[in-house]
Structure 1
Amino acid sequence: MLSVALGTLRTRRAVFAGSFVALALGVALLTVMGLALASSASAPERGPGRSAAPVVVLGQDTLRVPTPSGERTARLAHPRPIPAATVARLRKLGPVVADRSATGVHRLGIDADPAAVREVVGDGARVLTGAARRLAGPGPERDREALTAMNALFGTAGGVTAFVSVFVVASTFAFAVERRRREFALLRTAGATPGQIRRTVLAEALAVGVLASATGCALGARAAPPLAAEMTRQGLAPAWFTIGHHVWPYHAAFWTGLSVALCGAAAASWRAGRTAPAEALREASADRRPITRGRLLCGAALLLTAAVTLALSLAADPGDLLHRKTYVSRPMLLITAAALLSPLCLRPLVGLLTRLPGLRAPLVRENTAAGVRRTAALAAPVLVTVALAGSLLGTTATLNRAKAAEARERTTAAFVVTAPDGAGFDEAALRRLRAVPGTVVSPSSSTAVHVLEDGVALVRSEARAAAPGALAATTRLPLAAGRVEDLDDDAIVVNEEWRRHRVGERVRVWLGDGTPRTLRIAAVMTTGTGDNGVYVTPRNAPGAAADRVDVTLTAGADPRAVAGALRAAAGDGRVLTREAWLRATAPGTDRTTRLGLLLVLGIALLYTGISVANTTAMDRSGRVRDLAVLRLAGATPGQVLRLTGAEALTVVAAGALLGLLVTGVNLAGLWAALALQSAPPVLAVPWQALGTTAAACALLAVTCATVPTAVTLRRGAVDLAGLRE
């Protein structure tokens, strides 16, 4: 059987070309992802940068909380300054350069013995020497964020690649087996057993998998360094990032690719083994059954799984559906189910499309109905691509619109004054702003609080500090319980995401500078999209400077006069109207996430082209006689080409409609989650992206269908009629 399999690969190269290309590209991307992950995990130590002094002392910037499971740490929003007494003692050890802020000294460049410095500092600050001096600058935090975003990008792309490549390979082998039923039947007539037929198909998959995986590893090795350099130039990776020499990514990518090939061929091999010898006598080309029993059961199981898991998430934790890991991975279940069950829907859907006024095409309808397996093989990748585009882009657009609606509902101020970047308003500026007639002014500062949940998890919540009276006058918080006016120096406003969120209950928290406090819950906000945060008073935000001032107008105040007075009082600050501030701070998809989504959709579109081209190539020989009959019946080459193009467009339209239906179901689940979270239940369908994706799929399908047909039609009708498969 191995010799038969190798012979089949030689004589049917076009049949397996699509699977080879799909696997090779998938393995290449997995190799690149693995090399990037391995290189980021074992990044080389950076130099100290601008910290040329042998010793650097930093103010305490890490919160450390002991728990039964060990110490938990977190970065402080407002690092504590180095105590003045410690600074004075350090100056006696050697030359000192101090970085000073409004709250005190936060960093010293000290030319002294490290041991002596540690003895003076004790536990009140951090002492950095050698390569660790790089931690004194802002670079490490930015590098860590860049690496995290890069890993998420490659992880998402790799997951989608594996998903789509399995789908394409499985579809390719399934369609190839269907088109080779007579070939397998002849082998059965010659004495081949079902087991030998199955082993032949698996041997073909093994050969394709080995060659494609090896090719993919080689492509990945060449593509990884230029890609890392481009990501560095674009600012998506740290400037020092390079691809290192690692072995495990090649092993992981190679064996994953081989497993994908074998898994994709497993179901097809089982179906091939069930071919009866009598199939060799069958001449009819119409499909007997639109869908196999195994495909029906798998599709139904996945559909049920998608429905049950969605219902459980909505009932138990609807907020989980708003997280990126969830809304990227969860649609895969429904998309796969729809692709598997698509043959059940395509025949009536194509019939509907070809009966629409102005689009009546009975020949297209009959051709697609007779070859429903071919129609499903062409429509399924279109469905996957359109559904991915609609689900991913629609989810991010819906979340951004919901967050924007939340901000609009919360903000009642007529003007918002923001401090210059990286700075805050000093007391003199705040006094000038408060003195503007006809206004109620509410300064607030950005801070954070930490809470220990279940005794083991140290959770950080972004917070704002503001005086309760002014806050109530300029902001409409989405409260589920309590009153904003009850906020005081002994209280806190939390949201329903907190484990403990009952009004009047006391919770132990650590403030932005690490100070432990036990505060009373004055009010509880709804969860919303997760941006409602926490509110405390300025006394519970030590070290936080006011960076925003909300301004409302009193009765009879002139908005233009107030705006001019605010600009004069704000100095370098910006004075924006409510609408201008909402536009300036409108949430959007960050650059890395946007690039990741475009990469995912590009991969899906590429695989769509591979699948469509491969299906068309496999079906070409089987349709030669159909073309000959049309030509002998009097159809011109142009009419045959138009018919072929119309069939391709009809199938793409059917696949796009099914993809749109899947998109609608996925977005409906997100809409329900937003409603259960008390967030504005908005919905954003990315019509432009869906139209562009469908148009690209249509162009690919029409090109792949008409170009080979045009080449075939160069032969005469009589010659075509005499051709054999």
Structure 2
Amino acid sequence: MLSIAMSTLRERWVAFVVSLVALALGVGIIATIALVMNSALTGFPGQRAALTGTVVLLSVSAGVTGFATVFIVASTFALTVIQRTRELALFRLIGATPQQVRRMIVIEALLLAAIGCVAGVVISLVGAPVLASVLASSGLAPSWFEVSISPVPLVLVCLGGMGLTALSVSVASRRAATIRPTQSLRESAGDPPGARPGRSARTGWGVALLLISLMGMGVVAAVLPELATVPVVYLWVLLTLVAAVALLAPALVLPVLRLLTLPWARGGSAIGTLVRENTLTMARRTAATTLPILITAGMSISLLGALETIGHAQSVEAGERLRADYVLVPEGGPAISAEALDRARKIPGVRIAPLAPTTVQVTGEAGLADGFWGYATDAQRFAAMTSLPLIDGTLEDFGPGGIVVSDIWELGAGQRVTVTPDGGKPVQLTVAAVVGDSAGGGDFYLDVSDTGPRPAEAAYVQAGGEAAAALRERSGELGASLLTKAEWAATVGNSDQGTGVIGMLVTLGIAIVYSCIAIVNTMVMAATARRRDLTLLRLLGATSRQAVAALLAESVVIAAAAMVLATAASAINFAGLLAALTQVVPGATLAVPWAPVLAFAATSALLAILATTLTATAAVRTPAPLSE
């Protein structure tokens, strides 16, 4: 089988280029991320806290890119098998068993994966320094961050790439093993008579994943609605549904295609009829071609819409929670220094409650330490300037020696707890109040006297007109800006905390760039294989322009079908997200950033159309033989 597989790769290398490019790019991107993440984890042992957000962001980026890679590589291998139906049928005709056919497909894929991994490593050696520079310049990593090359992540990524390839090709190889010897006698490239594209193990996995995603949405909405406020966590719920729709594409694409091509069926157009029959009779090929566009559009619509909706919910909650007149925010730096806050307090009529990020360690009954993230503040002024969703206790009891905790601490008001602030000594505090689900804020609030002075990421301010004017005049020397309540609330949903909106856009951007390249590869692969169809059209009297127009119309229909499925998946995702968010923020509403969403969708469709048009135009100039 190895010699046959190698011979096939040599003789039909053009047919495997698309799969090789998809593999090399996928491995290259993931290896690039792995090198940068390894540098963040091991290269700066004294600065790990400053790189926590960067590591989380890179982990999510690798996961999302891996998600896209699995489906795109699987679709390219599926398309390759479909285009080789007669060749594989001839192989069966001369005595090959289904197991031998399947083994040959897997060996071919693994050989390609080995070449792709080598190319991916080369790409990562160039891409890792570039990615580190982008992260540092955009504020997603410290300015001093640099990447170092290590063989360990490269070896792990290559092993993962081989495993990913074996997983991706498993369905295609199983389908190849079902090809019958008699199919070598068929001239038609369509699905064989009696074929049921919607009935396969892939469909079963798709249904199972759909049920899991719907159950996950229900559990989050009913039990853990606060998870919907964390994009890096909830995005996996969104991607699970997109994956389910992608797996169900062969079953779902046929009714969508019938609906989209219905006007052509009734209009009597020759090109329209040809497009309708081609897409419907070659459902498996159509589904494989649709998949990269579906993945790209599904990810972009779902994730961008979710980010905007979560950000809007955070803004609504922040406005409802804040009683202060103004908020002091850092300008030109990540935080407001403790010295600057002291100078601001000395302005007559100005009262300040800082929000200084800090972490604490709490040792449980079993001796295990749990870490929590929250804020140190001026307890009494904070209580007067904010309104938290209390479920036990009252903020009137919050002062030095007290702590306000979220319900995840599993404590009640009045209980005593010993905490160890980051860089401080253990201190015993009394729980003044317990707060419930929140789209913003931390796991706790304690008085700054229990932690010592710390830089603040913001500070609530109460001040009259003259005092506010004086503070605004001096805000420049404090390294801060004074915002009104409305202005600050509008910025909350767009704040970047390493894994916030900007970080998620970087994550999505990496995966979408890869997916867009995969769209071009797949459409070129599909159009190149249609040279024989174009030649037949020319022999039947069609002009070169009409032949290209037929293939172009087919790509438009395929892109439209992918957009319909992606929109349907996103609509379900948004319904589940809103069901959870409204439990936390009753005023939460759907907010979709239509400009970037439409831009991503239009780019995907345009790339598919351009790739098909250019490839078909080139193919029609070099007619293919009518017999193979």
**TM-score, scaled to structure 2:** 0.85
The alpha carbon displacement at 1:316 in A equals 4.1
Contact in 1 for aligned 2:323/2:385 (Cα 8 Å): yes
Contact in 2 for aligned 1:30/1:158 (Cα 8 Å): yes
Range that drifts further, 481-490 or 330-339: 481-490
Q: Which residue of 2 aligns with 1:219?
A: 123
Q: Which structure is larger by alpha-carbon Rg, 1 or 2? A: 1
1:270 aligns with 2:181: no
Contact in 2 for aligned 1:383/1:658 (Cα 8 Å): yes
Q: Which residue of 1 aligns with 2:348?
A: 433
Matches within 5 A, 1:75-114: none
Q: Does the residue aligned with 1:192 lie in a helix, a strand or coil?
A: coil
Q: d(CA) in 2 for partners of 1:35 and 1:428?
A: 44
Contact in 2 for aligned 1:27/1:213 (Cα 8 Å): yes
- Match for 2:182: what amino acid? A
Q: d(CA) in 1 for partners of 2:301 and 2:531?
A: 37
What residue ranges of structure 1 are gaps of 5+ in the alignment? 46-139, 435-440, 554-558
Q: Which residue of 2 aligns with 1:664?
A: 571
Contact in 1 for aligned 2:292/2:518 (Cα 8 Å): no
Q: d(CA) in 2 for partners of 1:212 and 1:419?
A: 46
Range that drifts further, 642-651 or 307-316: 307-316
Contact in 1 for aligned 2:324/2:460 (Cα 8 Å): no
Report how many aligned residue pairs link the two structures.
610
Range that drifts further, 33-42 or 186-195: 33-42
Q: d(CA) in 2 for partners of 1:311 and 1:412?
A: 34
Q: d(CA) in 2 for partners of 1:473 and 1:333?
A: 43
Q: d(CA) in 2 for partners of 1:476 and 1:149?
A: 28
1:345 aligns with 2:252: yes
Q: d(CA) in 2 for partners of 1:255 and 1:431?
A: 61
Matches within 5 A, 1:337-376: 337-355=244-262, 361-376=272-287
1:603-652 CA-partner distances (Å, limit 9, x unpaired) = 3343343355335425544x345434544554333233333222212211
Q: d(CA) in 2 for partners of 1:345 and 1:242?
A: 46
Q: Which residue of 1 aligns with 2:389?
A: 478
What residue ranges of structure 2 are gaps of 5+ in the alignment? none
The alpha carbon displacement at 1:241 in A equals 4.9
Contact in 2 for aligned 1:443/1:548 (Cα 8 Å): yes
Q: CA RMSD in A?
A: 3.6
The alpha carbon displacement at 1:376 in A equals 0.9
Alpha carbons of structure 1 residues 462 and 229: separation in structure 2 relative to 1, 3 Å? closer
Contact in 2 for aligned 1:465/1:540 (Cα 8 Å): no
Matches within 5 A, 1:304-703: 304-355=211-262, 361-416=272-327, 421-424=336-339, 430=345, 433-434=348-349, 442-447=351-356, 448=358, 450=360, 452=362, 454-455=364-365, 456-466=368-378, 468=380, 474-489=385-400, 491-500=402-411, 502-510=412-420, 514=424, 516-531=426-441, 534-536=444-446, 540=450, 542-543=452-453, 548=459, 550-551=461-462, 563-564=468-469, 575-583=482-490, 587-590=494-497, 594=502, 597-614=505-522, 616-618=524-526, 620-621=528-529, 623-678=530-585, 680-703=587-610
Alpha carbons of structure 1 residues 566 and 200: separation in structure 2 relative to 1, 3 Å? closer
Q: Which residue of 1 aligns with 2:74?
A: 170
Q: d(CA) in 2 for partners of 1:467 and 1:230?
A: 39
Q: d(CA) in 2 for partners of 1:383 and 1:298?
A: 18
1:15 aligns with 2:15: yes
The alpha carbon displacement at 1:408 in A equals 0.6
More helix by share: 2
Range that drifts further, 283-292 or 395-404: 283-292
Q: Does the residue aligned with 1:444 lie in a helix, a strand or coil?
A: strand
Contact in 2 for aligned 1:453/1:499 (Cα 8 Å): no
The alpha carbon displacement at 1:472 in A equals 5.7
Question: What fraction of aligned residue pairs are identical, expressed as a percent?
Answer: 33
The alpha carbon displacement at 1:373 in A equals 1.5
1:36 aligns with 2:12: no
Q: d(CA) in 2 for partners of 1:708 and 1:419?
A: 53
2:190 counterpart (282, 286, 296): 286
- Match for 1:396: what amino acid? L
- Match for 1:282: what amino acid? R
Q: Which residue of 1 aligns with 2:154?
A: 250
The alpha carbon displacement at 1:666 in A equals 2.5
Q: Which residue of 2 aligns with 1:186?
A: 90
Range that drifts further, 199-208 or 673-682: 673-682
- Match for 1:343: what amino acid? P
Q: d(CA) in 1 for partners of 2:71 and 2:344?
A: 62
Range that drifts further, 269-278 or 447-456: 447-456
Q: Does the residue aligned with 1:524 lie in a helix, a strand or coil?
A: strand
The alpha carbon displacement at 1:368 in A equals 1.6
The alpha carbon displacement at 1:246 in A equals 3.0
Contact in 2 for aligned 1:328/1:392 (Cα 8 Å): yes
1:482-523 CA-partner distances (Å, limit 9, x unpaired) = 4333435564433323321x3344434456884655444333
- Match for 1:303: what amino acid? L
Q: d(CA) in 2 for partners of 1:235 and 1:552?
A: 32
The alpha carbon displacement at 1:701 in A equals 0.8
Q: Does the residue aligned with 1:497 lie in a helix, a strand or coil?
A: helix
Contact in 1 for aligned 2:265/2:273 (Cα 8 Å): no
The alpha carbon displacement at 1:528 in A equals 1.0
Alpha carbons of structure 1 residues 269 and 510: separation in structure 2 relative to 1, 3 Å? closer
2:204 counterpart (297, 319, 329): 297
Alpha carbons of structure 1 residues 643 and 234: separation in structure 2 relative to 1, 3 Å? same
Alpha carbons of structure 1 residues 588 and 363: separation in structure 2 relative to 1, 3 Å? farther
1:519-577 CA-partner distances (Å, limit 9, x unpaired) = 44333322212415544557656546998453377xxxxx6x67557668999666543
